[in-house]
């Protein structure tokens, strides 16, 4: 294994709504990558139905995960997209996510307020600084990108890269390996891409990113693919932390 090759893994949509699913995924990642060698993306109030601020038990769980060395990112606020889009944004909202691209159409002021409130909330819960901000569905509009530069976050990520949130320096490039559970066709496509990634990316990318979601635990085929993918890249890439990129 080359010390210069990194494997960055993350669990998305972390919050009270998906506690059991997150626990399952955390156990899987830790079994392959070791203690604390992955990140969690925290949603402060998933779809307005699971407020982290009001759930003391989950706050304690989140703080315990953080104390185990798991990096924490703020992952939007509601995760749900309520904006009416047009043009290219409308295509992204319809085809790249199922109503989950919350930060795709927000204006700068709204995006900045939610980013700062999310940062303050999660940092208060875990008792330390968060690693950065990652928009739901990896989708950012111009207002969100402008807000991000002012937000005080260190890192940001989309589907194709990781960058410094304040000065926009790109720190790593390459697609995220992820899975889709919401339809048979999307599941089949994501499983096929994972096979291709396990074949090609170990030899072509110094930094590999793997992202899992709560819905993944509903399909044994996806869980098996995640396990195979983690195992394969853990042999060629060192399980690492996002903050090592800075």
CATH number of 2-241: 3.20.20.370
- Give how far Cα 100 sits from Cα of 23, 137, 175, 179, Å: 22, 6, 19, 15
Is-contact 52 40, C-beta < 8 A?
A: no
For position 86, what pLDDT does the model report?
45
Domain spans of the chain, in order of start: 2-241
For 200-223, how does the pLDDT look when each residue is reduced to its tens digit (9 = 90+)?
Answer: 999 999 999 999 999 999 999 999
For position 95, what pLDDT does the model report?
38
For position 94, what pLDDT does the model report?
44
The confidence band for 101, taking pLDDT boundaries of 50, 70 and 90, is confident
For 5-14, how does the pLDDT look when each residue is reduced to its tens digit (9 = 90+)?
Answer: 999 999 999 9
The confidence band for 1, taking pLDDT boundaries of 50, 70 and 90, is low
Q: How buried is 239 (Cβ within 10 angstroms: 0-12 exposed, 13-18 middle, 19+ buried)?
A: buried
End-to-end CA gap in the chain: 22
Q: How buried is 47 (Cβ within 10 angstroms: 0-12 exposed, 13-18 middle, 19+ buried)?
A: middle
Count H helices and E strands in the chain, helices first: 7, 10
Looking at per-residue pLDDT, the higher value among 95 and 72 belongs to 72
């Amino acid at each position: 294994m080359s010390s210069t090759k990194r494997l960055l893994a993350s669990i998305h949509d972390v919050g009270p709504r998906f506690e059991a699913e997150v626990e399952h995924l955390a156990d899987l990642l830790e079994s392959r990558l070791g203690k604390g060698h992955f990140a969690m993306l925290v949603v402060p109030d998933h779809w307005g139905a699971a407020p982290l601020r009001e759930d003391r038990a989950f706050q304690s769980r989140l703080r315990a995960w953080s104390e185990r060395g798991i990096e924490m990112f703020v992952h939007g606020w509601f995760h749900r997209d309520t904006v009416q889009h047009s043009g290219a944004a409308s295509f992204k909202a319809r085809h790249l996510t199922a109503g989950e691209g919350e930060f795709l159409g927000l204006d700068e002021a709204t995006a900045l307020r939610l980013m700062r409130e999310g940062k303050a909330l999660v940092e208060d819960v875990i008792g330390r600084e968060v690693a950065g901000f990652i928009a739901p569905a990896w989708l950012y509009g111009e207002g969100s990108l402008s807000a991000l530069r002012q937000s005080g976050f260190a890192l940001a990520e989309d589907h194709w890269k990781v960058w410094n949130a304040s000065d926009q320096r790109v720190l790593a490039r390459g697609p995220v390996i992820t899975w889709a559970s919401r339809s048979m066709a999307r599941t089949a496509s994501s499983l096929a891409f994972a096979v291709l990634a396990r074949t090609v990316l170990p030899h072509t990318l110094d930094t590999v990113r793997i992202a899992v979601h709560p819905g993944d635990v509903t399909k044994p085929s996806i869980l098996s693919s995640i396990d195979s993918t983690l195992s394969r890249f853990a042999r060629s890439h060192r399980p690492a932390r996002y903050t090592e990129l800075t």
